[in-house]
Amino acid sequence: MKVAMVLAASTLALFLVTGCSGSGGGGGSTASTGTLKLAITDKMSNDFQNVVISIREIRVVPAGKENASDNDPGLPVVASFATPKVIDVMQLQFVSQALADVVLPSGTYSQIRLILEPNPNGQGSLPANYLVLKSDLATKIPLATPSAQQSGLKILGPFEIKSGMDNMIMIDFDPNTAIVKRGNSAYNLKPTGIRLVRMSVMPTQYGSISGTVATFDQWSSATFSVKRRGATNDIDPIADGRIFSNYTSGSWQAPFAAFVPPSSPTISYKTFISANGFQLYSSSAVNVTQGQTTDLGTIPLVKTP
């Protein structure tokens, strides 16, 4: 299952990450600024016991600045840790960990960059970013993170900071597509396996809706949205994001997940998927259970006539 970053709920609105620099709290936003609340959560994996990353800094990239260097003053730093923040994402299955709560200029942002602590080069040194296989619990295998120590692990958006309000973003880390084996014993960390999910509310207890879009050559990304149905019929989605097709483990894959509060007797959820050149997909209404995934399976998109 995925590792996802879940945004802080209203009950966490005053929770700031220890050691994190930057402005905080939704109360500080103005007509020209909004508050970004960022957190992380995860999916299960049949292969990995631990997936550990060490974050030194988190930056956001305004639209149009995608090629900016890591020291470009136009890239806001939303969190900076004097001691790297060590996270085992495999411990975050249906549990959120807050990462940042910061006021930003309103507008569209294209990326979130995670600047990682580099793995030491010395023989016998413990890696800062590593995984442990369920088949070999005694070995910490270093994760190769090309460029993540300089320009950052680039997690693609876009996402919007709306003025005068809290904007909650979940980083969805999917170890099954984010970690790619190379050779016999080496592994790369691939940013296209980490996705952003915008949430209208941050539940303290939640389940997920997941699925995999059948991929075609004619598209490289699609969007999903989840809306409540029943006693509440949403116009705006309760969760939405972008689905990227990427080549992992010898095949093209396009998984997604949305994190939502558990269903009630009067509330269920429908998922919609949109891609250029294809008809809008609409799922049947499904129920979501706390701490469990409701899997929609493989979703074939139908080409527009």
Q: Residue 258 is part of a domain; what is its CATH number?
A: 2.60.40.10
> What is the distance between the alpha carbons of residues 246 and 103, in angstroms, rounded to a whole number?
33
Cβ(213)–Cβ(220) under 8 Å? no
Q: What is the pLDDT of residue 17?
A: 35
What digits encode the pLDDT tens for the residues 83-124? 999 999 999 988 888 999 999 999 999 999 999 998 888 667
> Does residue 233 sit in the same domain as residue 113?
no
Counted domains in the chain: 2
Our measurement of the distance from residue 264's CA atom to the centroid of its chain's CA atoms, rounded to an integer in Å, reads 26
> Does residue 212 sit in the same domain as residue 162?
no
What digits encode the pLDDT tens for the residues 231-281? 999 999 999 999 987 776 677 778 899 999 999 999 999 999 999 889 999
Domain boundary among 202, 236, 265: 202
> Does residue 115 sit in the same domain as residue 22?
yes
Helices (H), strands (E): how many in the chain?
A: 1, 22
> What is the distance between the alpha carbons of residues 132 and 5, in angstroms, rounded to a whole number?
21
Q: What is the pTM of this model?
A: 0.83
> Does residue 174 sit in the same domain as residue 218?
no
Cβ(90)–Cβ(33) under 8 Å? no
> Does residue 51 sit in the same domain as residue 114?
yes
Q: What contacts 48, CB < 8 A, 6 or more positions away?
A: 90, 131, 132, 133, 134, 175, 179
Q: What is the mean pLDDT of residues 118-136?
A: 87
Cβ(206)–Cβ(193) under 8 Å? no
Strand 179-182 versus strand 186-189 pairing type:
antiparallel
Domain boundary among 202, 230, 248: 202
Domain boundary among 148, 167, 202: 202
Q: What is the pLDDT of residue 190?
A: 86
What digits encode the pLDDT tens for the residues 15-73? 333 334 333 344 466 669 999 999 998 888 889 999 999 999 999 999 999 988 877 88
Q: How far is CA 47 from CA 129, 131, 137, 182, in A?
A: 17, 10, 11, 15
> Does residue 140 sit in the same domain as residue 253?
no
Residue 235: which domain range? 205-305
Q: What is the pLDDT of residue 202?
A: 79
% of the chain residues with pLDDT over 70: 85
